[in-house]
Amino acid sequence: MKITIGSFILQQLHALNVDRIYGVPGDYNLSLLELLENDERLAFVGNCNELNASYAADGYARMKGAGALIVTYGVGDLAALSGIAGAYAESSPVICIAGTPPLHAMKNHQLLHHTLGDGNFDNVMNCFKQFTVAQALITPENAAQEIPRVISRAWIEKKPVYL
């Protein structure tokens, strides 16, 4: 049976008993947000900005055991980074899920909005490496292994991760 990457991520969050995901809609995360609309066990809690969303996910994780955050690539995840750094300092397992540009655009180093305009798509991940215990760029080929690996590191180490 085939499953979409987004549905697989939501299944993994269900397994952690996460019932709220904080975030800000953006053009690169709309597909996942559409899946959330039909998910009766997960509620999307929209925030006015990504920093507030990351703080909310941190607070939720402290109370419930794990938290989740949805942002868009570049402007969204970088805006949430201070909250992720705080979650790291306080040992709070926050799963930061960032929508990304299409994989073919990233592979071809296309100049896109929400980027630094240099065709480099590694720079955001490099920033998150400083404040998370695991990170992964999810592709159809690696999703089945990387999503559980990264999320389990958040749960086991009680630190933020980045997908």
The rounded distance, in Å, linking the Cα atoms of 24 and 144 is 26
Residue pair 142/132 in contact (Cβ under 8 Å)? The answer is no
Per residue in 74-123, pLDDT (tens digit) is 889 999 999 999 999 999 999 999 988 766 666 877 566 666 677 777 88
Reduced to 3 states (helix: H, G, I; strand: E, B; else coil), residue 79 is helix
pTM for the whole structure: 0.93
Residue pair 21/71 in contact (Cβ under 8 Å)? The answer is no
Per residue in 38-85, pLDDT (tens digit) is 999 999 999 999 999 999 999 999 999 999 999 998 889 999 999 999
Per residue in 125-137, pLDDT (tens digit) is 899 999 999 999 9
Residue pair 111/119 in contact (Cβ under 8 Å)? The answer is yes
3-state secondary structure 6-74: HHHHHHHHHHCCCCEEEECCCCCCHHHHHHHHCCCCCEEEECCCHHHHHHHHHHHHHHHCCEEEEECCC
